[in-house]
A and B are shown apart, each in its own frame.
Chain A
C-alpha cells in the first residue's frame, strides 16, 4: 500500500484518521477494511455503528474497484477517514473513473429488481449512512455517520 497516513493530522474541526491510496484489487479492499475496523474500534465507536460504517465503506471501495477502475490493479483507489470532536465519521472514497449519477440508479427493492444479482451497493450505503453525496462527477463518494 502506498501513501498510508493513519496518525491524526488534525485541523480545527476534523481529525484525519486514515488517508490512503491502494491498488484496485479485492485484497487491497480487505486490507483497508481491516484497517478501518481497527481504527473505529480504537476510537470507541459502538459496535453496531462500526458494522454500518465498515459495510458502507466496503461497498464504496468495491464500487470504486469494479466500476471506477474496471478491476485494473494498475489504477488506484483513494480513501480518507475523518472524525470530528463529536464522534461523527466522514469517509471519502474516490477513483479515476468517469463517475456515476445517483439518479440513474434503479431502486433494488422494486419489482423484479429484487431478484437481480447486482445493483444494491449504493442503495445499501444510503441506508447505512446518515448523509451521502457524490462529487467530482460521481467519481468520489462522501459519506457521513453522525
Chain B
C-alpha cells in the first residue's frame, strides 16, 4: 500500500484508459512486492487480457519472483530479463 501502489494503479488506469493493452512493467528497481502490489498486477492483467493484451514483467528481483510464486500467481505472467524480447513477445 502507499504511494508506490497508488502510483502504479494510476499509471495503469491511464494507460488502459488511453487504449494501451500490451504492457511491459519494468520491476528492476522494485526489491519487493507486497500483496497490494500483487493485487494491482493481477487486476490489470485480467483487464488487459480481456481486451486482447497482457502484462509482461521485466527484470523482477529474485525475492519478487519468490513472492509471486508463494501466492500462486507467478505462472499467470510471462517474465523477461530483456526488454526487447518482452516487447517483441506481443507481436
Contacts and interface: CB of A to CB of B under 8 A. Distances in A.
A32 B32 CA distance: 16
A109 interface: yes
B1 A109 contact: no
B63 interface: yes
B63 A48 contact: yes
B70 A54 contact: no
B2 A27 contact: yes
Contacts, number: 59
B39 A54 contact: no
A120 B42 CA distance: 12
A124 B71 CA distance: 7
Chain A's interface: helix, strand, loop or mixed, by majority? Answer: helix
A54 B32 contact: yes
Contacts of B38: 120
B42 A116 contact: yes
Contacts of B8: none
A65 to B, nearest CB: 7
Interface of B: 1-3, 31-32, 34-36, 38-40, 42-43, 46, 63, 67, 70-73, 76
Given A51-B31, A62-B34, 11 more contacts: A51-B32, A58-B34, A59-B35, A62-B1, A115-B76, A116-B39, A116-B42, A117-B39, A121-B34, A127-B71, A128-B70
